[in-house]
A and B are shown apart, each in its own frame.
Chain A
Amino acid sequence: MPSSETPPEPVAPEVAARRSAMALAGAATLAELEDVLARAGLSAEAEDLRVPETGLVMTRGRIGGDGRAFNFGEATVTRAAVRLPGGETGFAYHLGRDRPRARLAAILDAHWQNAETRPAVDAALAAVAARRQREAEGRARRVAATRVNFFTLARGED
């Protein structure tokens, strides 16, 4: 349904929620994104505001970890921008060069903009979140096993 009103200026919690949805979509595989769209019962029909393109983002660190910024390399990043038939616009910026994946994530971001479809998007993305969580926990457990436990040897005569 077309929304003629311009959306209100996003408030911080909304931005935070959108960022987490974007992060999940960015971490999803193309198959996962297709699955999310299907499970949320959403259409992939959209018009390109910007044809997906790959470019460079200069990556920055900080001197000493917390000091002045410096450039330490670049990363390939693919971006896409779409508009749904209902007028919602969506964006995606992903590491790497996968254009179909970025376009699909942008479509998902656009559906997320719509208050009516947002819960369905969030619910479907939960599967990606669960997969990520499982992987992160497995990694953390394997890393934890390599943590050094120091013990002090008894010294002296007693």
Chain B
Amino acid sequence: MYVAAKGGEAAIDNAHRLLAEIRRGDPVVPELSVAQIREQMSLLVDRVMTEGSLHDPDLAALALKQARGDVVEAVFLVRAYRTTLPHFGASEPVDTGAMTVSRRVSATFKDLPGGQVLGPTFDYTHRLVDFALTEGSIPEPAEEAEPGPDAGHCPRVTDILGQAGLLEPSPPEAGAPVGDLTREPVDYPADRAVRLQALARGDEGFVLALGYSTQRGYGRTHPFVGEIRFGTVALEFVPEELGFPVPLGEVPLTECQMLNQFRGSGEVPPQFTRGYGLVFGQGERKAMAMALVDRSLRAAELGEAVGAPAQDQEFVLAHCDSLQATGFVEHLKLPHYVDFQAELELVRRLRAEHEAAHAEPGEPLREAAE
């Protein structure tokens, strides 16, 4: 038997007031401003923008503040906010070749136009905790140098290598409508554009683990980092009333070009194939993981054996979204009193039947079990 219950309103209100107080922390400690989060937790802000699938650093910083730093909760807030906004249209595709580069490295070519530019990176740091940061500190001003004559021109590594035919070209523009999973549900098999959209907004941990699994042998792709670049690109949009591309502003992006071995097939000679990653802000790990999984999801297209999780697009796309995943996992903690009551009744009945079945021959089964 169960009794329908109502109530909890006061408890819920009070829980939210308590949350607000706990979120603020010790009032003796100065409160964080949104600008502080935006400026000093910038990689976290970038991650929330990428997984929230919305470029808006101030909004992402505010969401992080509201979410007490919980990335998935902040992503939830950002995604909820976007549903309140009208859709103006789609931008012109960004030209990453024209990026104002802050960082650009290639693991495959030492000498390339524009050079190897490290930019602001954790690479080569010693990963020793810097206790000097405990106290406020003013960093030493960054070193400056005269930019080389080719500094403004960083062609993509893939553009340079592509000419010799050693590298598969990018899939050509077909003029077909660009799939958008925010407007229509994913249809399987999903095309590469939709897969990339899903991976771009996918949870970094999940995509990283899948990429890692391909390196460990679950759908090996023999990857090399052709290039990683981080910097800003101009975003443009053609409003109907103007009919020409209007500059919206500059957006920071990280792009990863992964080069993978490919032995060739009946139709295609041996060449390097590619995986691609593109995310908001400085998100190198995510862009790399995305490129690995993009390539592994092309297994069937390239005639490779398919069997590993990272090659299974339904598995990957249906589970990479942190908001969908958390929604289904976390809903379990909401009241399931009625469902559970039904299950309880069922288990009681089964137990009664089980006892009745085993009571008859004078409990021989129990002895056998012991």
Which residues of A are at the interface with B, using a C-beta cutoff of 8 A?
10, 15, 19, 22-23, 26-27, 53-77, 79, 81, 91, 93-97, 136, 138-148, 150
Q: How far is the CA of A19 from the CA of B280 in the complex (A)?
A: 24
In the complex, per-residue mask of B134-145: 1 if CB is within 8 Å of any chain A CB, else 0: 000000001111
Q: Could you say which residues of chain A place their CB within 8 Å of the CB of B53? A: 73-74
CB <8 Å contact, B89 and A58: yes
CB distance from B221 to the nearest CB of A (A): 15
B:166-208 near A, CB below 8 Å:
169-174, 178-180, 182, 192-194, 196-197, 200-201
- Shortest C-beta distance, B156 to chain A (Å), equals 5
* Cross-chain contact A142 with B55 (CB below 8 angstroms): no
B144 close to A142 (CB less than 8 A)? yes
Measured CB to CB, the closest approach of chain B to A136, in angstroms, equals: 7
For chain B, the count of residues having a C-beta within 8 Å of the partner chain is 84
When distances are taken between beta carbons in the complex, the residues of chain A under 8 Å from B279 are 72
Within 8 A of A (CB), among B190-246: 192-194, 196-197, 200-201, 234-235, 237, 239, 241-242, 244-246
B34: interface (CB < 8 Å): no
Does B200 lie within 8 Å of A143, measured CB to CB?
no
A-side contacts of B173, CB under 8 Å: 62, 67-69
Is B91 an interface position by the 8 A CB rule?
yes
Contacting residues, chain B, for A23 (C-beta < 8 A): 234, 247
CA distance A7 to B192 in the complex (A): 44
Partner of B276, one of A26, A58, A63, A138: A63
Contact B102 A143 (CB under 8 A): yes
The residue from A60, A63, A146 contacting B91, defined by CB atoms under 8 A apart? A60
Closest 7 CB pairs of A and B: A67-B170, A64-B170, A70-B193, A95-B249, A75-B55, A23-B247, A141-B144
Contact across chains for A91 and B242 when beta carbons are under 8 A apart: yes
Q: Which of B7-15, B113-121, B261-269, B301-309 contacts A (4 or more CB under 8 A)?
A: B113-121
Q: A56-B82, A59-B251, A63-B276 are in contact. Are A79 and B172 (CB under 8 A)?
A: no
- A77-B237, A96-B58, A97-B56 are known contacts. Are A63 and B196 too (CB-CB below 8 A)? yes
B145: contacting residue among A15, A54, A67, A145, CB under 8 A: A145
Interface string of B80-96 (1 = CB under 8 A from A): 00100111111111101
User: Would you list 28 pairs from A and B whose C-beta atoms are within 8 A, ordered by A residue?
Assistant: A53-B86, A55-B86, A58-B90, A58-B91, A58-B180, A60-B90, A60-B94, A61-B253, A63-B193, A64-B169, A64-B274, A66-B97, A68-B171, A71-B182, A71-B193, A73-B53, A76-B55, A77-B237, A79-B239, A91-B239, A93-B237, A95-B235, A97-B59, A143-B119, A144-B117, A145-B143, A146-B118, A147-B148
Contact A71 B102 (CB under 8 A): no
A148 to chain B: which residues have CB within 8 Å?
Answer: 115-118
Using Cβ atoms and an 8 Å threshold, which residues of chain B touch A10? 244
Known pairs A53-B86, A77-B248 / 5 extra A-B pairs, C-beta < 8 Å: A55-B85, A68-B170, A68-B174, A76-B54, A95-B249
Q: How far apart are the CA atoms of A88 and B86 in the complex, in Å? A: 26
Answer whether residue B70 sits at the interface, using C-beta atoms and an 8 A cutoff: no
Contacts of B147 in A (CB 8 A): 140-141, 143-144
Are A56 and B172 touching (Cβ within 8 A)? no
CB-CB under 8 A from B110, the residues of chain A are: 150
Docked Cα-Cα span, A62 to B248, in Å, equals: 18
Contact across chains for B197 and A143 when beta carbons are under 8 A apart: no
Select which of A26, A64, A66, A75 is within 8 A of B54 by beta carbon: A75
* Contact A65–B118 (Cβ < 8 Å): no
A60 near B56: Cβ-Cβ < 8 Å? no
Chain B 337-363 interface mask (CB, 8 Å, partner A; 1/0): 000000000000000000000000000
Of all chain A residues, the one with the shortest Cβ separation from B195 is A70
Q: Which residue of B lies closest to A62 (CB)?
A: B93
| B49 close to A (CB within 8 Å) | yes
A56 CA to B54 CA, complexed, in Å:
9
